[in-house]
Structure 1
Amino acid sequence: MDRNLALEFVRVTEAAALASARWVGRGEEKTADAAAVDAMRKAFDVIRMDGTVVIGEGERDEAPMLYIGEKVGHKTEDAPALDIALDPLEGTTICATGGPGSISVIAVAEQGKFLHAPDTYMDKIACGPAARGKIDIDKSATENIKAVAQALNKPVSEVTVVILNRPRHEALIAEARKTGARINLIGDGDVSAAVAAAWEDSGIDLLLGIGGAPEGVISAAAMQCLGGDFQGRLKFRNEEEKARAKRMGLSDPDKKFTIDELASGSVMFIATGVTDGSLLKGVRFLGNGIAKTHSIVMRSATGTIRTIEAQHDLERKPKH
């Protein structure tokens, strides 16, 4: 996969972040998300690729744009065939309330290298490079926390675990606290949280709990770039979701997916901050039609991680 594409894709997440950032704190979740989707879809049109959305806004009958199976990009005879996993606005509620950590994110792989995950839940565990191979979703939270503490050569009391603050996690949170570990409860945004588990300066050591399955695939792509580890198991809410998964080729509903089964080969991960978070600064509107963005661009082939701060003249910006 051409490394220059990584810098093309950052323009896509920048466009979505700039569009949705205008709605930060205004209580309009759907409007902010629609703005991000529209901007991202238009930005894809100028990239030379034969792209297919495999993780997107939902099924074709649920989403007018960026639906699963939609073709994106400017296709030419020599355009690379790529699979795209995306979330134009991860943390719609965060954006609407002006909270921390909302981002625009995409992951890119060669064709067939992403799990085609249905829009359901996924039980997840993620850690950084030092604990790679030491975690196991089949083991208890206590066992995994102790394993990460040992891998990091620090006491359990210094391990920080990030968990979505949901009623379904009451028992998990109680068990994690009983170990003596530090617990960071978040309201939304488990892609950012998974990336933080492998980001040295984030203060997060481990992600546990159930979130969205599509976000799990995107998180696995990020972990491939960062050298971290990720495992997941689908959690269906009803029989219809289980049937849809079987139609997508997932024959074992209880399968434990490793990081390589979720995202493999040469992958890229690109994200731009919408609101300030532990990884990225949010969009800043400076007046006089000028805005600043903060993005991260990662490639698994080389392990290269770039952070990009860009200044945009919104009056001169092309309308795709």
Structure 2
Amino acid sequence: GCLQVLPDDGYYFKVAADHHALGKISLEMPIEEIVRTLADAKGLPIENFTVIMLERERHVEILQKLRKIGVRIILIPDGDIAAAVATCIPSSGVDLLIGAGAGPEATIAATAVKCLGGTMLVRVWRDKGDDPKRLVRLEAEGVDVNKTYNQDELAMGNELVFCASGVTKGELLDGVRFIPNGAIVNSLCIRLPSGTIEKSETQLRFKEHPIYKHFLS
């Protein structure tokens, strides 16, 4: 297919941003330089620049660097796919996703980011606590452990669709809301080449639904 799905074996370092980052940042740059380059490209003072990242122990060093720079920081318990997409939606107020997360999620996020004309950069995250055989396993599955993958390599092709529904409330979508005899679900659909963003709210009636009616029993 047209998706390069990275194996779910350890973590991958990810950076996501909107179109202002195209051709301007790389993972060879220090984190401070990535932030300043993107802030300059967007015409934002550092104190108004917002970085979103997973709240994880592995990110302590990155977090210290970001705090020293003086950017705004949003720490999330999970959901770096939604966080990556949020960087490409101006109304979100999020400018940059940075940090390490799972591989399959990187591919899913790259699909949405590409649909919105943004930048997604991903490479294998190396940690002292890694299984020494991990890199060998990744190479056996076709992963270049020294390469930085971008959105065009993770999500190839010019006709792509990204769809998501919210389960719990996040940066991108509201979570499921239960109502008497049913629930309300918020969903999002993004398409390439148009870049169209569609949001919908679906009201499910459990009593009449062939599957969901069992929730009432």
User: 1:247 corresponds to which residue?
Assistant: 140
* 1:229-270 deviation digits (Å, cap 9, x = unpaired): 1000012532333232222222x3111111111111122111
Matched, 1:262 2:154: yes
Given residue 276 of structure 1, which amino acid in structure 2 is its aligned partner? K
User: Matches of 2:170 and 2:6 in 1, distance apart?
Assistant: 27
Equivalent of residue 167 in structure 2, options 268, 274, 277: 274
Alignment map for 1:115-126 (pairs within 5 Å)? 115-119=4-8, 120-126=10-16
Pick from 288, 291, 305: which aligns with 2:197? 305
Q: Secondary structure at the match of 1:204?
A: coil
What is the rounded CA distance, in whole Å, between the counterparts of 1:191 and 1:147 in structure 2?
23
Residue of structure 1 in register with 2:46 after alignment: 156
Partner of 2:183: 291
Query: In structure 2, the residue corresponding to 1:223 is in which secondary structure?
Result: helix
CA shift for structure 1 position 277: 2.2
Cα distance in 1 between the residues matched to 2:194 and 2:79: 27
Following superposition of structure 1 onto structure 2, how do residues 94-173 of structure 1 map, counting pairs within 5 Å? 111=1, 113-119=2-8, 120-173=10-63
Partner AA of 1:256 in structure 2? T
- Displacement of 1:144 in angstroms is 0.7
The whole-number CA distance in structure 1 between the counterparts of 2:107 and 2:185 is 25
Shift of 1:130: 2.7
CA contact (8 A) 1:118 1:241 kept: no
Q: Is the 8 A contact 1:163 1:186 kept in 2?
A: yes
Q: Residue deviations 1:121-151, cap 9 Å, x none? A: 1001110123332221110111011111111
Alignment of 1:172-187 (within 5 A): 172-187=62-77
CA distance in 2, matches of 1:138, 1:316: 55
RMSD: 1.6
1:217 to 107, 110, 118: 107
Q: Which amino acid aligns with 1:274?
A: V
The alignment's TM-score, normalised by the length of structure 1, stands at 0.62
Q: Name the structure, 1 or 2, with higher relative contact order (CA <8 Å, separation 6+).
A: 2
Measured in 1, the distance between the counterparts of 2:22 and 2:168 equals: 30
Contact (CA 8 Å) 2:92, 2:171: kept in 1 or not? yes
Q: Does residue 318 in structure 1 map to residue 210 in structure 2?
A: yes
Note if contact 2:79-2:170 (Cα within 8 Å) is conserved in structure 1. no
1:230 to 2:120 alignment: yes
Q: Secondary structure at the match of 1:133?
A: coil
Matched residues in 1 for 2:121 and 2:110: separation? 8
State the shift of 1:286 in Å.
Answer: 1.1
Aligned-partner Cα distance in 1 for 2:89–2:104: 21
Distance of 1:241 and 1:299 partners within structure 2: 35
Question: Between Structure 1 and Structure 2, how many residues are aligned?
Answer: 207
Matched residue of 2:70: which SS?
coil
